[in-house]
Amino acid sequence: MLRGRRRMEGALDAQSLISISLRKIHSSRTQRGGIKLHKNLLVSYVLRNARQLYLSERYAELYRRPPPPHAPYPPPAAPLAGPPELGPLPPGAEEQPPGPMPRGCGLPEPPVLLPPPHDPAPLELPGAPPQPPSPCRDSAPGFYRSGGCAYPALPGHCSGRTTVLDLDTHVVTTVENGYLAPDCCSQCPCCCPPAPGTKRKYYPGPGEEDDEDEDEPAAGGGAAAGVGVAPCPKRARFEELSPEPPPDASNISNLISIFGSGFTGLVSRQQADSEHGQLCSKQALASLGAWTRAIVAF
């Protein structure tokens, strides 16, 4: 099926772009003159775009599998993270535990087939990057993020569920997205008000208690912010490797967190976190395992 194959090509492009981008970010740490903020910001955009495409490909594949039982999301406890334009939900929505549906590992923005990309972005989350691109070879259709951020069942902690509204069929599905929650948090501040610290929890490995001091109190507030969610294992690990608390370098670790633990969930096979679901990575992704260690250590 040509369409499927072209989709595959799109996904492979995305994978190689992801690994190339990770390599660039990793090598920029040892470059003379310090980390170049501009270049790393641009690389992070490519990473986002590639990841979006990759995830959309994966989700499309999931979508082709037998449909899971409908599990519409509960009425929002927190302010709506999704865009209001989505409209009212099917009545009789009730929360159901995710059944035997495939467990997605990196689906914060389950894509939905939508009209062409030039539509305005009412479906985008605040702070989300703009329209998803077509890949290098322009093979995959444009996918959008839907406003599928989890509504937290527990206050201050994303429940790990993402709800997808298919605009074509108006089918609402809920996807287990354990790895997603931190990414959710990073994208939807309303979900997790003390957000930035929370996501750190999802990084495996020992966490150190020290918070680094950013160069400005305002910026530091974001990360260390009287949250009490003190441990920042990722940042602490970075400090282990390079003995300085540079604002520049912390920007880069922040950039990594932007594409989130859902991303590391994609690439890591070592992270057998039993709590959360994990989609079996493809063979091709296994090669990115080495880079996971680099990024997690970043």
Partner 1 sequence: MEGESIYEIDSEDGVGADIISTVEFNHTGELLATGDKGGRVVIFQREPESKNEPYSQGEYNVYSTFQSHEPEFDYLKSLEIEEKINKIKWLPQQNAAHSLLSTNDKTIKLWKITERDKRPEGYNLKDEEGKLKDLSTVTSLQVPVLKPMDLMVEVTPRRIFANGHTYHVNSISVNSDCETYMSADDLRINLWHLAITDRSFNIVDIKPANMEDLTEVITASEFHPHHCNLFVYSSSKGSLRLCDMRASALCDKHSKLYEEPEDPSNRSFFSEIISSVSDVKFSHSGRYMLTRDYLTVKVWDLNMETKPVETYQVHDYLRSKLCSLYENDCIFDKFECAWNGSDSVIMTGAYNNFFRMFDRNTKRDVTLEASRESSKPRAILKPRRVCVGGKRRKDDISVDSLDFTKKILHTAWHPTENIIAIAATNNLYIFQDKVNSEMH
Q: Tell me: does residue 72 bind partner 1 (CB under 8 A).
A: no
**295 within 8 A of 47, measured Cβ to Cβ:** no
Amino acid code (one letter) for 62? L
**Residues near partner 1 (CB under 8 A), total:** 52
Tell the smallest beta-carbon distance from residue 194 to partner 1 (Å).
12
Token digits for 94? Answer: 């009730």
Q: How far, in Å, CA of 75 to CA of 94, rounded?
A: 8
Q: How many CA atoms lie within 13 A of 72 on its CB side?
A: 14
Name residues contacting partner 1, limited to 244-283 (CB under 8 A): 244-248, 250-251, 254-255, 257-258
Q: Give residues 138-167 in contact with partner 1 (rule: CB under 8 A).
A: 138, 142
Question: Which of 163, 250 has the CB closer to partner 1?
Answer: 250
Q: Does 96 bind partner 1 (CB under 8 A)?
A: no
Taking the complex as a whole, how short is the minimal distance between the CB of residue 255 and partner 1, in angstroms? 8
Q: Hey, what are 20's tokens?
A: 């190339």
Stretch that binds partner 1, among 29-37, 61-69, 90-98, 171-179 (CB under 8 A): 29-37
- Considering only 2, 154, 218, 272, the residue that binds partner 1 (CB under 8 A) is 218
Instruction: Tell me phi and psi for residue 141, to 5 degrees.
Output: -65, 160
Choose among 35, 13, 107, 80: nearest CA to 254.
35
Residue 6 and residue 153: Cα distance in Å, rounded?
A: 38
The structure tokens listed for 160 are 């790990």
Minimum distance from residue 41 beta carbon to partner 1 (Å): 6
Angle CA(225)–CA(227)–CA(233) in degrees, nearest 5? Answer: 85
Q: Which residues bind partner 1 (CB under 8 A)?
A: 13, 17, 20, 24, 32-34, 36-39, 41-42, 45-46, 49-50, 53, 116-118, 127, 131, 133-136, 138, 142, 186, 196, 214-216, 218-219, 221-223, 242-248, 250-251, 254-255, 257-258
